[in-house]
Amino acid sequence: MIATTRPEMSVSEPTLFVAFELGKKEWKLALTSGFAASPWVKSVASGDLTVVARVLTAARARFGLLATAPVVSCYEAGRDGFWIHRALVAMRVDNRVVDSASIEVNRRARRAKTDRIDALKLVRMLVRVCGGERDVWREVRIPTVAAEAARQVSRERTALVEERTRVFNQMRSWLMLYGAVLPASRAQGWWTTVRDWTGDPLPGSVQARIARAEERAALLETQIAALEAHQEAQVAAAASGGPCVGHLKGVGTTSTAVLIDEGLLWREFRNRRQIGGWVGFAPTPFQSGEQTREQGISRAGNPRVQSIAVQLAWSWVRWQPSSALTQWFLARFGRGKRLRRIGIVAVARKLLIALWRYATTGVVPTGAVLKVA
């Protein structure tokens, strides 16, 4: 997740602080006016914003604040997404969406955990953040409605491709039970021509099951083709507006669409470290006393971007052999399969940074070749 920069506010300013602990049936609201005030916890039905507004009004009166006192709130990013954030902003609430993994926890083997405890902890951390304390947590970058909706295309395609792979693996398993294999070339009704280990046709129930699986596979192929056509149109539109990562040789349409959808541009990164944190390819050093070692990459980033980044890195090494990045990889990691598998992650991180710079500033990576129009 990427930390956002907000103007600091004084904890002495009359402000109502609210933390939402979101549940399926109800929300816990922990409210306070600062460090000295004991938090007030209220429960409301999940999604009932009308009651939330009444609780905020009652909380202002309870803590002796003006009816127009500003409200600052927060909740953890999760299943509910960002609609709650947009609803609170519409209610003139300064809301923050927090990365759950960045919240500090008690390291005891067993610790009490309830929605009430979590809400109280969250509101106290919110007061600390608003008081100017840094590194309390990390806040999630909020996408626009259009950007959030656009992500569904690439994510749906990934899910459909996985489903297609699952269907074909199932058919291979069913055929294996009878000593048969899935033909490389499959005409209509191919399952009727398959023979088992004795040379006999497959049982009728098995043929019927394979036929139904083929129908599902055909439907998946149609839906995947439609999504890929949508992605091609999206990438073409992006390419016509200026520098686009799809202009570079070795960067395909699907990879370009995923990077655009997942936020290579709309997240508005400020430096390369933020990109490393976004993708999860950031170092995690361990230094304690005389012990110093590197624990490897954090892998705490976006898993879709991680997968695409590694695929792009291998593609880049193949199709951009004269680039400085490929030459660096071959010189440092080209001496064996194990080293290449380790080094390709470093290439993926460097490549994402280079693609971000190209998409935002138009600076072509050193030695890279653009696609022929």
Residues 180-202: tens digit of each pLDDT: 999 999 999 999 999 999 999 99
With respect to residue 8, please indicate whether it lies within any of the assigned structural domains: no
Cα distances (Å, whole numbers) of residue 285 to 46, 275, 280, 292, 361: 41, 18, 14, 8, 32
My answer on whether 90 and 73 are in the same domain is yes
CATH code where residue 125 lies: 3.30.420
Judge contact between 239 and 257, C-beta under 8 A. Answer: no
My answer on whether 237 and 272 are in the same domain is no
Residue whose pair of structure tokens reads 């294999």 in the numeric block: 181
With respect to residue 70, please indicate whether it lies within any of the assigned structural domains: yes
With respect to residue 4, please indicate whether it lies within any of the assigned structural domains: no
pLDDT tens by residue, 218-241: 999 999 999 999 999 988 888 887
My answer on whether 119 and 194 are in the same domain is no
Cα distances (Å, whole numbers) of residue 96 to 65, 76, 262, 346: 21, 9, 20, 32
My answer on whether 260 and 330 are in the same domain is yes
My answer on whether 104 and 32 are in the same domain is yes
My answer on whether 96 and 46 are in the same domain is yes
With respect to residue 231, please indicate whether it lies within any of the assigned structural domains: yes
Residue whose pair of structure tokens reads 């929300």 in the numeric block: 27
Examine the fold and report which residue of 130, 158, 174 is the final residue of a domain before the chain moves on. Answer: 130
With respect to residue 1, please indicate whether it lies within any of the assigned structural domains: no
> How many structural domains is the chain composed of?
3
* Angle of the 253-262 helix axis to the 204-240 helix axis, nearest 10: 70
Supply the pLDDT for residue 6.
55
Query: Rounded to an integer, what distance in angstroms lies between the CA atom of residue 141 and that of residue 247?
Result: 27
My answer on whether 71 and 103 are in the same domain is yes
With respect to residue 106, please indicate whether it lies within any of the assigned structural domains: yes
Examine the fold and report which residue of 100, 130, 160 is the final residue of a domain before the chain moves on. Answer: 130
Q: Which domain holds residue 293?
A: 246-361
Residue whose pair of structure tokens reads 């999504």 in the numeric block: 227
Closest Cα to residue 268, out of 82, 142, 363, 81?
Answer: 142
Q: pLDDT-derived band of residue 9, with 50, 70 and 90 as boundaries?
A: low
Confidence check: pLDDT of 154 > 50:
yes
Query: Rounded to an integer, what distance in angstroms lies between the CA atom of residue 264 and that of residue 305?
Result: 10
Query: Rounded to an integer, what distance in angstroms lies between the CA atom of residue 16 and that of residue 34?
Result: 8
Query: Rounded to an integer, what distance in angstroms lies between the CA atom of residue 306 and that of residue 299?
Result: 8
Within 10 Å of residue 324's Cβ, how many Cβ atoms?
Answer: 14
With respect to residue 255, please indicate whether it lies within any of the assigned structural domains: yes
My answer on whether 158 and 53 are in the same domain is no
My answer on whether 101 and 22 are in the same domain is yes
310-318 average pLDDT score: 95
In DSSP notation, 271-299 reads: SHHHHHHHHT--EEEEEETTEEEEEEE--
Phi first, then psi: what are they for 304, rounded to 5°? Answer: -70, -40
My answer on whether 262 and 301 are in the same domain is yes
My answer on whether 225 and 252 are in the same domain is no
With respect to residue 354, please indicate whether it lies within any of the assigned structural domains: yes
Judge contact between 1 and 102, C-beta under 8 A. Answer: yes
H helix or E strand, kind and range, residue 233: helix 204-240
Examine the fold and report which residue of 241, 261, 291 is the final residue of a domain before the chain moves on. Answer: 241
Judge contact between 232 and 247, C-beta under 8 A. Answer: no
pLDDT tens by residue, 102-146: 888 888 878 888 999 999 999 999 999 999 898 899 999 999 999
Strands (E), the chain: 16-22, 26-32, 40-45, 71-76, 93-98, 283-288, 291-297
Q: pLDDT-derived band of residue 5, with 50, 70 and 90 as boundaries?
A: very low
My answer on whether 88 and 112 are in the same domain is yes
